[in-house]
Amino acid sequence: MQIAVVGAGGIGGYYGALLHQAGHDVTFLARGAHLAAIRERGLRVESVLLPAPVSLRVRVTERSEDIGPVDLVLFSVKSYDTDTAAALLPALIADKTAVLTLQNGVDNVDRLSERVGRTHVFGGACYIFTAIASPGVISHTGGSRRVVLGELTGELTARGHAIRDAFAATGVPVDLSPQILVAMWEKYLFITAQGGMTALTRLPIGPIRQSPATMEMYLDVASEVAAVGRAHGVPLPDGERARVQRAAEALGPGSYSSLYTDLVHGRRMELDALPGHTMRLGARYRVPTPVCRAIYAALLPYDEAAQRGAPQPPRPVADHPS
């Protein structure tokens, strides 16, 4: 299978490396220091599942025109870069090309569909903790690595089976779903709760679980996302609080989120894609989303500062004797 990875960060770099090792013809699209490092030293993968890091000599470029049409595009950029990165797609598209989004949030399928047509877009969700540790280096620290993917129509097509088989050959758990939008929303309501609450509190899930009031707020996020999803026409089953509670309990007590990590490092966050999207859909359908709105508003000054490249807002200093 000919594969192009648009966004060779934690997700794209990791799964792209596995597909490369499985014998597929994989080319990575990257930029800046990450591109230069991969060209010079190869793509290095560090994983909790490997006894030692692996360095791979892979093809990498910053121009999609250097690649041409492929069978599969693994699209894994940050959600706020979707529109910019989508401009790379036309050169990669043939009649049967699938563009598989493995991104946070649920609105990327619509934005990609506007660019390349809905018949090309595959929904996807992955369950993994991975990131760029340094230019050219991907660090995998946990998670089941499971991938769920499917046609937006729900059809179980030949290309869907081919993509599933390609991932299965790497050894990761993979499911071809006839209800991929439901699967994506299920992940979305969990990561909006986990991301929002770890970023808001600056705490990992362990202390959040130990505080009943804080854990209740965490579950309120999931309920708001689910209510908005149902209003939007997504047939989410009842019982989301119990499902999210189980998922939260399955995490190690020191687990944070990418939203938290970006916050504390002064980077732009996927704030619009997570609580922001729920807040906007809630306004459209007149579904109250007070917790998502509070999280969004509290984190927005930090996100705006990161986008400006400005110093982060200062922490408060007591103006009275202690």
CATH number, domain of 266, equals 1.10.1040.10
Out of 128, 150, 178, pick the residue that ends a domain.
178
- In this predicted structure, the answer to whether residue 319 has a pLDDT above a threshold of 80 is no
Same-domain check for residues 193 and 165: no
The total domain count for the chain is 2
The answer as to whether 11 is a domain residue is yes
Q: What angle do CA 225, 139, 169 make, to 5 degrees?
A: 85
Same-domain check for residues 191 and 171: no
- In this predicted structure, the answer to whether residue 192 has a pLDDT above a threshold of 90 is yes
The answer as to whether 46 is a domain residue is yes
The answer as to whether 317 is a domain residue is no
The answer as to whether 205 is a domain residue is yes
Same-domain check for residues 55 and 140: yes
Domain harbouring 30, CATH code: 3.40.50.720
Between the alpha carbon of residue 13 and those of residues 46, 49, 246, 257, 277, the distances in Å are 11, 16, 29, 18, 26
Same-domain check for residues 96 and 171: yes
- Please list the alpha-helical segments (H only) found in the chain: 10-21, 32-41, 82-86, 108-116, 158-168, 180-201, 205-210, 212-231, 240-250, 258-264, 277-285, 290-308
Q: Specify the pTM.
A: 0.93
Encoding tokens for residue 194?
Answer: 């986990």
Same-domain check for residues 158 and 244: no
User: For 236-250, how does the pLDDT look when each residue is reduced to its tens digit (9 = 90+)?
Assistant: 999 999 999 999 999
Q: What angle do CA 119, 121, 127 make, to 5 degrees?
A: 150
Same-domain check for residues 144 and 217: no
User: For 37-95, how does the pLDDT look when each residue is reduced to its tens digit (9 = 90+)?
Assistant: 999 999 999 999 999 999 999 999 999 999 999 999 999 999 999 999 999 999 999 99
Out of 178, 211, 246, pick the residue that ends a domain.
178
Same-domain check for residues 154 and 214: no
Residue-averaged pLDDT of the chain? 95
> Residue 172: which residues within 8 A CB-CB, separation 6 or more?
15, 18, 145, 146, 147
Same-domain check for residues 166 and 199: no
Q: Span 279-286, mean pLDDT? A: 98
- The single-letter DSSP state of residue 126 is E
List the beta bridge partners of residue 124: 149
Same-domain check for residues 126 and 227: no
pLDDT at 315: 56
Same-domain check for residues 133 and 171: yes
- In this predicted structure, the answer to whether residue 320 has a pLDDT above a threshold of 70 is no
What are the contacts of 155-162 at 24+ separation with CB within 8 A? 159/71, 159/96, 159/98, 160/98, 160/122, 162/1, 162/71
Q: Span 182-203, mean pLDDT? A: 98
The answer as to whether 119 is a domain residue is yes
Question: How far apart are the C-alpha atoms of 247 and 190, rounded to whole Å?
Answer: 8
- The candidate with the shortest Cα–Cα distance to 28, out of 75, 74, 60, 66, is 60
Q: Span 273-299, mean pLDDT? A: 98
Same-domain check for residues 161 and 191: no
Q: Span 5-32, mean pLDDT? A: 97
pLDDT at 310: 79
Same-domain check for residues 124 and 261: no
> Residue 168: which residues within 8 A CB-CB, separation 6 or more?
174
Out of 135, 157, 178, pick the residue that ends a domain.
178
- Residue 112 belongs to what domain range? 2-178
